[in-house]
Structure 1
Amino acid sequence: MPSNRPNAPGRRFLGRLPLPEYRYVADALRAETLGGALLLVAAALALVWANTPLSHSYETVRDFHLGPAALGLRLSVQHWAADGLLAVFFFVAGAELKRELVAGDLRDPKAALLPVVAAACGMIAPALVYTLVNTVGGGDLGGWAVPTATDIAFALAVLAVLGTALPSPLRAFLLTLAVVDDLFAILIIAVFFTSDLDFAALGGAVAGLVFFWFLLRRLRVRGWYVYVPLALVIWGLMYNSGVHATIAGVAMGLMLRCHREEGEEESPGERVEHLVRPFSAGVAVPVFALFSAGVAVGGDAFADIFTRPETLGVVLGLVVGKAVGVFGGTWLTTRLTRAELDPALRWSDLFAVSVLAGIGFTVSLLIGELAFDGDAELTGEVKAAVLVGSLVAVLLAAALLRLRNRAYVRLAAEEERDEDRDGVPDVYQQEDPAHHQRLADAYENRAAEHRARARERERGAEDAEDRDA
């Protein structure tokens, strides 16, 4: 996702976004916010379903197996959601990352420094908190990666309710942070949660990816009916190779062409992302949440969360580790690069966003399943810890955002004001008089063309009347 290139010496950090990036962020926010709302609904439904007398039916549906056994793909509904549908989610993440690397701010190493460092620190700190708690408490260190991921859809759904007036630079920072966070999560899954490799299946998956790239980038074949079946074959081979199947989605997303060529209003990567994102946000992630968030949350379960080192490490990692890591990494980087915070914002605003980054859901639940595979009881407790940690982060972020809501409303009104109704916020025209003049000239030329066409139509009508006469 886009950011505002804050990191070069003397540059302003969290200043106003360039107009194209402002519009891109607004479009992305609308899509992610809707997906986040569906995610919350699915998670709530799962919790209700799993904690009522209907819990047996929930387990029956979740554990029901289907699929071709001969291809090694007879999986439970829960595994189809985690390994299959989430591949679509990671495909979109790969496309977003590719866009940032070739056409967004991550293509500039100086501009990329801040979100990369913030995301890295925001993953290292929770892992350290988890490791410290479990070293002292004698817990299982295998879950160190559970609290490291930020769920951007969940976070933006919270923002839609609590921070509707949050300035776009802060939202853009959170979006960019999440893209880099997804990249690190992908690397963690690929490196640390890969089982025994089947090199034949892995070779087939790699060959399929090469063929996918050749069709896409060399032959420039178009048509979903070509790529969807090929993607399914690649996914099935990747699953059987022992590498987590979501890696196939990421790899295909990274292969998309995301730079615009002459005459293109949007690149193929942007077009595909716009087509697939609704399915990812509206179907894939909510269905995964429905069959992964259904954990028992009785009194004993909550008591265990704060007494068992594995679950306590997850909660503290999300609430404390994320906030300290993201904020500390950002503050240190701006000091080293001599960047200045935009005068309209305060460091407390960035801290509130850093706390919001502690909302871990989709990827955290996935990593929890992978880390404690085979221990159903501990897996359930870790999932409950993810929910509790995310809820605490929501409440803390809400309190911090409310403190400055009046200032956010004022900034948002200034950012969105368009008194001349030309589709361009006035603040951009005020800051760029040349752009305003070019825009006025373009409108005048267009009006002159309309007047000329009107005169031609009038003359044509007069000529027709003369002929009739």
Structure 2
Amino acid sequence: MPAPAPGKNRKALGRLSLPERTFVADALRTETVGGVLLLIAAIAALIWANTPIRESYETVRDFHVGPAALGLNLSIEHWAADGLLAVFFFVAGIELKRELVAGDLKDPRAAALPVVAALCGMAVPALVYTLVGVTGDGSLAGWAVPTATDIAFALAVLAVIGTSLPSALRAFLLTLAVVDDLFAILIIAVFFTADLDFAALGGAVVGLVVFWLLLRKGVRGWYVYVPLALVIWGLMYNSGIHATIAGVAMGLMLRCTTRKEDSAGPGGREMAARSPGERVEHLVRPLSAGLAVPLFALFSAGVAVSGGALGEVFTRPETLGVVLGLVVGKAVGIFGGTWLTARFTRASLSDDLAWPDVFAVSSLAGIGFTVSLLIGELAFEGDRALTDEVKAAVLLGSLIAAVLSGVLLKIRNARYRRLCEDEELDEDLSGIPDVYEQGDPAYHLRMAEIHERKAAEHRRLAEVTGRASEENDGPA
């Protein structure tokens, strides 16, 4: 049978290129650490809000600070949700820009799989919530709550259960989360925008134009951009559009492609080329993952949780819809979208993976946490009791999804460990994993030399062993 033409049949979730694998490993390393901190913050919030010192939690959370004259006299909870999460969405904007110009989303054919999977992974949970709401005569305002995926929390789960998930599946999860964030941003901007203040909105747009012009002129210095970013954020907040949109807009403006000047370091030294977007993301991501998101979790996840309250989650249509949306809707939506894409295109699943692996990762994406908590606050703003109940549903749904995916991934962990060992193997000590050098003639020459040296060592060892045996068997 003749070999298929190049590009005719593509492998879905196949091995990443070496540069992409390196980038994904660096990004996920920070997200994993941030996810563990996020998990700790969420647990701390639940303990703080469910002990005799609960009143102190509410006092701190509801404490107002900020200049009232600028419309920014906000509670600590609002500063965390509207201010700190702007940093999170700024990083999300840079990630999205990089994926669009240099990552998996650059090629429309390669982008089809994660985009379709992410869309189905948002549409099906929204549909599940709506069906539960309609049949139970509940509010449909929370339809968007179970549509989000929290990549940091998902990676924290992977770190806790100790599974060796292959880089292709981790990259798929990361790309899913990036696309998921994009649509979450659009949902927040379109469906959760209050009455617009066009003067403030116009000022924010002017600020963004200035931000873009400064970037294009090559102006450098945090002392220029940070004050300007704060002004843009304040104007966006007062415009009625959720302030996190300002962070996304600024992130999307950063250049994420490399040029010759990007490789010139201080004094004209040549350095590894990194685009401005990658450099800024490298600096800001630890702030986002290590401070902004955990603090948001600390002041958002603190809901009263009792046996009766958890039981009510399964009786109220709004909360039941959130749980089923995260646990069932996410898994079915992402798995179904991936399967349909592979079924109706020329893409086929990588030979190293099986469909149960895709379903396990789809289940892992049911951990909604950060953005789900944010959308829950926006959807039921003004109804504190229902907001807390929906938050409890998000926590419970994310926990169930984490346990389910953890069990499924553990079943296949031995297989994943072998794949990861193959990806890391570097027998010729070149610094590059062997799987990325197998088409290089120089690699095969080095390996032949290594195998010949090993064979010679074995022959010498056999000769020495043989002589020692003869001496021992000789006459006393």
Tell me what 1:4 maps to. Answer: none
Amino acid across the alignment from 1:317: G
Tell me what 1:210 maps to. Answer: 209
Cα offsets for 1:249-305 (capped at 9, x unmatched) = 000000001000025310000000000000000000000000000000012211110
Given candidates 246, 249, 254, the residue that maps to 2:247 is 249
Amino acid across the alignment from 2:246: A
Structure 1 residue 221 and structure 2 residue 219: aligned?
A: yes
Tell me what 1:406 maps to. Answer: 414
Structure 1 residue 288 and structure 2 residue 286: aligned?
A: no
Rounded Cα–Cα distance in structure 1 between residues aligned with 2:445 and 2:204: 51
Given that residues 8 and 339 in structure 1 are in contact (C-alpha distance below 8 angstroms), is that contact kept between their aligned partners in structure 2?
no
Tell me what 1:29 maps to. Answer: 28
Given that residues 163 and 410 in structure 2 are in contact (C-alpha distance below 8 angstroms), is that contact kept between their aligned partners in structure 1?
no
Structure 1 residue 52 and structure 2 residue 51: aligned?
A: yes
Tell me what 1:385 maps to. Answer: 393
Given that residues 418 and 425 in structure 1 are in contact (C-alpha distance below 8 angstroms), is that contact kept between their aligned partners in structure 2?
yes
Amino acid across the alignment from 2:181: D
Tell me what 2:38 maps to. Answer: 39
Alignment of 1:329-368 (within 5 A): 329-368=337-376
Cα offsets for 1:169-227 (capped at 9, x unmatched) = 0111000110000000000000000000000000000000000000011x210000000
Given that residues 32 and 153 in structure 1 are in contact (C-alpha distance below 8 angstroms), is that contact kept between their aligned partners in structure 2?
yes
> What SS does the aligned partner of 2:218 have?
coil
Amino acid across the alignment from 2:355: W
Q: Displacement, 1:163?
A: 4.7
Alignment of 1:172-183 (within 5 A): 172-183=171-182
Tell me what 1:150 maps to. Answer: 149
Rounded Cα–Cα distance in structure 1 between residues aligned with 2:437 and 2:51: 57
> What SS does the aligned partner of 1:12 have?
strand
Structure 1 residue 273 and structure 2 residue 272: aligned?
A: no
Cα offsets for 1:20-59 (capped at 9, x unmatched) = 1111111111110000000000000000000000100000
Amino acid across the alignment from 2:384: A
User: Kindly tell me: are residues 385 and 439 of structure 1, through their superposed partners in 2, closer, same or farther at Cα, counting changes over 3 Å?
Assistant: farther
Q: Displacement, 1:228?
A: 0.2
Q: Displacement, 1:161?
A: 2.3
Q: Displacement, 1:74?
A: 0.1
Q: Give the gaps of 5 or more residues in structure 2.
A: 1-5, 264-272, 448-476
User: Kindly tell me: are residues 216 and 439 of structure 1, through their superposed partners in 2, closer, same or farther at Cα, counting changes over 3 Å?
Assistant: farther
Deviates more, 1:107-116 or 1:277-286: 107-116
Q: Displacement, 1:338?
A: 2.3
Q: How many residues align?
A: 432
Rounded Cα–Cα distance in structure 2 between residues aligned with 1:279 and 1:190: 24
Q: Displacement, 1:438?
A: 11
Given that residues 12 and 347 in structure 2 are in contact (C-alpha distance below 8 angstroms), is that contact kept between their aligned partners in structure 1?
yes
Given that residues 8 and 111 in structure 1 are in contact (C-alpha distance below 8 angstroms), is that contact kept between their aligned partners in structure 2?
no
Given candidates 406, 430, 433, the residue that maps to 2:440 is 433
Amino acid across the alignment from 1:297: V
Q: Displacement, 1:162?
A: 2.3
Tell me what 1:233 maps to. Answer: 231
Given that residues 428 and 446 in structure 2 are in contact (C-alpha distance below 8 angstroms), is that contact kept between their aligned partners in structure 1?
no
Amino acid across the alignment from 1:433: D
Identity of aligned pairs, percent?
A: 75
Given that residues 200 and 235 in structure 2 are in contact (C-alpha distance below 8 angstroms), is that contact kept between their aligned partners in structure 1?
yes
Amino acid across the alignment from 1:78: E
Cα offsets for 1:409-449 (capped at 9, x unmatched) = 1111111111222211111112x215748999xxxxxxxxx
Rounded Cα–Cα distance in structure 2 between residues aligned with 1:8 and 1:316: 39
Rounded Cα–Cα distance in structure 1 between residues aligned with 2:412 and 2:143: 34
User: Kindly tell me: are residues 437 and 383 of structure 1, through their superposed partners in 2, closer, same or farther at Cα, counting changes over 3 Å?
Assistant: same
Rounded Cα–Cα distance in structure 2 between residues aligned with 1:437 and 1:260: 32
Amino acid across the alignment from 2:160: V
Rounded Cα–Cα distance in structure 2 between residues aligned with 1:435 and 1:65: 66
Rounded Cα–Cα distance in structure 1 between residues aligned with 2:440 and 2:381: 60
Tell me what 2:189 maps to. Answer: 190
Structure 1 residue 317 and structure 2 residue 325: aligned?
A: yes
Tell me what 1:456 maps to. Answer: none
Runs of 4+ aligned structure 1 residues displaced above 4 Å come to 437-440
Rounded Cα–Cα distance in structure 1 between residues aligned with 2:309 and 2:442: 60
Rounded Cα–Cα distance in structure 1 between residues aligned with 2:44 and 2:130: 32
Rounded Cα–Cα distance in structure 2 between residues aligned with 1:119 and 1:255: 23
> What SS does the aligned partner of 2:52 have?
coil
Structure 1 residue 373 and structure 2 residue 381: aligned?
A: yes
Amino acid across the alignment from 2:253: M
Rounded Cα–Cα distance in structure 2 between residues aligned with 1:51 and 1:196: 36
Q: Displacement, 1:13?
A: 1.3
Amino acid across the alignment from 1:292: S
Rounded Cα–Cα distance in structure 2 between residues aligned with 1:207 and 1:344: 51
> What SS does the aligned partner of 2:427 have?
coil
Amino acid across the alignment from 2:327: V
Q: Displacement, 1:164?
A: 3.2
Amino acid across the alignment from 1:238: M
User: Kindly tell me: are residues 103 and 44 of structure 1, through their superposed partners in 2, closer, same or farther at Cα, counting changes over 3 Å?
Assistant: same
Tell me what 1:108 maps to. Answer: 107
Q: How does the TM-score come out when normalised to structure 2?
A: 0.89
Amino acid across the alignment from 1:283: L
Cα offsets for 1:99-143 (capped at 9, x unmatched) = 111111211111111111000000000000000000000000000
Q: How does the TM-score come out when normalised to structure 1?
A: 0.90
Amino acid across the alignment from 2:224: V
Structure 1 residue 70 and structure 2 residue 69: aligned?
A: yes
> What SS does the aligned partner of 1:141 have?
coil
